[in-house]
Amino acid sequence: MDNQIQLRLIERLNERLMSYLSVIWACFTCVILSLFLLRSVEVGWGYDEFIYLFLIVLLGVFLSVRSRLSNHFTVHLLFTLNLIAGIWGVLNYGTQAVAVFYLLLSVIIAALFYKKRVIIAAAVGVVLIFIFAGIKFTTVPQADGLNEVNTHWHWIIYTSGVIFFILMATSTLYIFRQEMESVLGRLNEQYDKLSQVAGYDELTGLATFRLMRKQWQQACLRAQRHQRKAAIMFVDLDNFKSVNDYFGHDAGDHCLRVIAKRTTGLLRGNDMVARIGGDEFLVILEDIDHIEDVKELSTKLIDKLSQSISFNDHHFSVGCSIGIALYPEHGVDVDTLRNLADKAMYCAKDNGKNQFAIFST
């Protein structure tokens, strides 16, 4: 899993969280605004009631197009609307108005979705607005007395509680978000390890056939684009079983690692070698102009792999038989060419081993 996959996981998590917050926020706001409108039937309509009605209509529009909005836009929109609604309500109706909910929700949104400096700025700003509104409504008597905090001590206790809630909520949610990102990071590492196991042979470090299949698709595209040929070589070691029988499996493992290293050392940058079985390897050759290039590399590979191998004061050697299938003469997909190269390899073994053969019909 690369960083893009991790970012997509975080994005999906944010989208799910944003959906829940949007529904909760919209439902709460609709209920509160509806109650204010019902109260307006008794006390009469004024400037505030028209604002409430406009906000309900705005909420309806928002919910109807929510699925078509990007997550980033929704976050910015909710944060801005909550902040504006909270500031307007608190400055006009006091610190015990319902608008306090919107100020707190704007801080919560910042803690969940914004960077640390934005969280601090939002929390400090909300606290300062709250303190300013609290001082205003404890020094200026209100006509209805609904939102007035009667004493300075009462206001101090109330304000301290709100500030404590803001600090606890923002810090807890920020830590929670950091932990979630840390968990995703650890999952990313585990995924990379699993991908490594799935895509590469544990013993030799070579690619597996699964990874080679993907490489072959790219090789075919490049061959078509540049009007070149490609080839698959099926390499099977000769006398490898004798190494395991006489010198042990540790010697056999060492032999496979040496063979893998020698084979890789002969290939060019775009070529690829994979281990597909116990002592079987596949090689992709790209950018081929003439069949003679494949023959030359096959000869070099046979000579290289036939050289002596040392292990724990023992010396032994193995040979190899190679079968070759060409793209596009013999086929297109990797499975077909692998089978044809396998048949050609058995022809090489039948002709005396330690040589190569090109598939022919």
Nearest to 305 by CA among 264, 272, 350, 269: 264
First to last CA, the chain: 43
User: Which amino acid is residue 137, in one-letter code?
Assistant: F
Hey, CA dihedral for 100, 105, 110, 116, is it positive or negative?
positive
Q: How far is CA 190 from CA 4, 90, 183, 185, 194, in A?
A: 16, 49, 11, 9, 6
The separation between CA 358 and the C-alpha centre of its own chain, rounded to angstroms, equals: 43
Active site annotation includes 279: yes
Give the active site residue among 201, 238, 271, 279: 279
Question: Which pair of structure tokens corresponds to residue 244?
Answer: 């395991």
Cis peptide before 328 (omega within 30 of 0): yes
3-state class (DSSP) for residue 307 = coil
Alpha helices in the chain (DSSP H): 3-43, 47-65, 71-93, 99-113, 116-139, 152-199, 209-226, 240-247, 249-266, 291-305, 334-350
Phi, psi of 203 (to 5 degrees): -75, -50
C-alpha–C-alpha distance, residues 59 and 32, integer Å: 12
| Burial classification of residue 103, based on how many CB atoms lie within 10 Å of its CB (0-12 exposed, 13-18 middle, 19 or more buried) | buried
Active site residues: 279
